[in-house]
Amino acid sequence: MRVLCAFPEAMSSSNSRPSACLAPVALYLAVLLHLSLSSQTGDRRPLPVDRAAGLKEKTLILLDVSTKNPVRTVNENFLSLQLDPSIIHDGWLDFLSSKRLVTLARGLSPAFLRFGGKRTDFLQFQNLRNPAKSRGGPGPDYYLKNYEDEPNNYRTMHGRAVNGSQLGKDYIQLKSLLQPIRIYSRASLYGPNIGRPRKNVIALLDGFMKVAGSTVDAVTWQHCYIDGRAVKVMDFLKTRLLDTLSDQIRKIQKVVNTYTPGKKIWLEGVVTTSAGGTNNLSDSYAAGFLWLNTLGMLANQGIDVVIRHSFFDHGYNHLVDQNFNPLPDYWLSLLYKRLIGPKVLAVHVAGLQRKPRPGRVIRDKLRIYAHCTNHHNHNYVRGSITLFIINLHRSRKKIKLAGTLRAKLVHQYLLQPYGQEGLRSRSVQLNGQPLVMVDDGTLPELKPRPLRAGRTLVIPPVTMGFYVVKNVNALACRYR
């Protein structure tokens, strides 16, 4: 959700005025505030306010949420995980039985677990009971191995290209080989797992969907935000970078809906930076802005599942490091799992909004998303709503809940960096308390900070947080 709004909270002027003139000014502001807060339906355009030249004013964002019907409903396993098979090759597989690692993984359930990645060439799929072997033709292992990741890059990796039509035919063949095998007869098939949707990749997807669009259970692609260049901490705060994903979603949806309208789409692999990430950046608090915005943007635009690469692996893009310590994106994911349900709600904003200039796109540094609160969280009754907010501004922002959210109790979960490293920190604090595991088998309690009813939400600069609005009794959130 794009939010760039302001509302005059206080006005000052260098010119002194007679006290008799203050009454109509105060009355005018009171009426203006009342109209903005009470407007729950209909035209939500800001009321006109004359601003004197050089007049400084504080900004107040008025926020409401549509509670009757969700705009989207994503998969219960929306936030899912990937493990790279290289952990076998590198001798890490035994560590998957670690009590600490299992505890961390359990915290992110329910989720799909994708076992795959680019470094899978050493794997050999074998099934001695595979009837396809006795027929003299290639079995499922051939197709599973050869169409693992990003078919658009085959020419670069293997010196041989594949077009979309051939890829689609191979998927149809793979499904026909799997169906007679009892353990695979009801298995789902996902693909083609293309890379960034440039012109040649879209052409490949178009050919694939034309042939095999009805064969796959969901269409998949991968996304890397920063590829092949030096990375600085401020890169993670650039709104232009955050918005690259939205354009990719639209390109994928356009092709998919041409051939199979309504087909589920998965982002089957997302990383902040390529080549394993960047130390002290991809695994830092700063990378969380990209990750949380990814979750909000994907759900808001109807993507059914996102698979995070990787839960535990080499490099710096993962959620858990090689010493089994949870990184900032893990805690962000844990809060998301605990608080966010699959139903997406529309956010409405009232106040003063910046006007676009010709040839310029307004890229918002304050991003607000809303969902029904996770119905598995027994701390909140059904009908509650959870907001998650990203503030990329260097100043704090004030948000006043209006309409259906007005005068409701709020629980704040504010996530900030912990330690002297600032945005580069690999540790985080929740409402001022550092997040660390209690022991190998116990995650810490995620304690909210209660805010009194009607209190203005104050979002500190360059931070992100979750806000549960309790007892809204939202119709969209009362039932599963």
- Return the pLDDT at 464: 98
**Beta partners for residue 23, in sequence order:** none
User: Based on C-alpha coordinates, what's the Rg of the chain?
Assistant: 25
- Return the pLDDT at 310: 82
Q: How far apart are the first and last CA of the chain?
A: 24
- Return the pLDDT at 354: 57
Per-residue pLDDT of the chain (480 residues; tens, 9 = 90+): 333 333 333 333 334 333 433 333 333 333 333 433 333 333 333 333 333 333 334 568 999 999 999 999 999 999 999 987 777 666 666 667 789 999 999 999 999 998 876 666 556 655 555 544 434 455 555 444 444 556 655 555 556 678 999 999 999 999 999 889 888 888 899 999 998 898 999 999 999 999 999 999 999 999 988 875 667 889 889 999 999 999 999 999 999 999 999 999 999 988 876 655 566 788 999 999 999 999 999 999 999 999 998 898 766 788 999 889 999 999 999 999 999 999 999 999 875 455 555 554 446 899 999 999 999 999 999 999 999 999 999 999 999 999 999 999 999 999 999 999 999 999 999 999 999 999 999 999 999 999 999 999 999 999 999 999 999 999 999 987
Place of tokens 């994928």: 252
**Peptide bond before residue 310 is cis, with ω within 30 degrees of 0:** yes
Measured CA angle at 128 (ends 122, 134), to 5 deg: 110
Are 180 and 131 in contact by the 8 Å Cβ rule? The answer is yes
Give, to the nearest 10 degrees, the angle between helix 328-339 and helix 99-107. 50
Q: Is 233 helix (H, G, I), strand (E, B) or coil?
A: helix
- Return the pLDDT at 145: 44
Pairing of strands 113-115, 79-83: parallel
Are 368 and 347 in contact by the 8 Å Cβ rule? The answer is yes
Q: Report the half-sphere exposure of 147 (CA within 13 A, side-chain side).
A: 26
Alpha-carbon span 322 to 326, nearest angstrom: 10
Alpha-carbon span 148 to 193, nearest angstrom: 8
Residues with Cβ within 8 Å of residue 405, at least 6 apart in sequence: 63, 64, 65, 385, 469, 472
- Return the pLDDT at 317: 80
> Residue 386 has which token pair?
């959870």
Tell me the H-state helices in 179-272.
199-212, 239-242, 244-259
- The values of phi and psi at residue 293, to 5°, are -65, -35
Continuous segment of H or E residues that includes residue 417: strand 410-417
207 backbone φψ class: left, alpha, beta (φ>0; ψ -120 to 50): alpha
Place of tokens 């993984």: 105
Alpha-carbon span 34 to 464, nearest angstrom: 29
Q: Report the half-sphere exposure of 405 (CA within 13 A, side-chain side).
A: 28
Distances (CA, A) of 453 to 10, 36, 101, 370, 470: 22, 18, 39, 19, 10
Residues with Cβ within 8 Å of residue 51, at least 6 apart in sequence: 8, 57
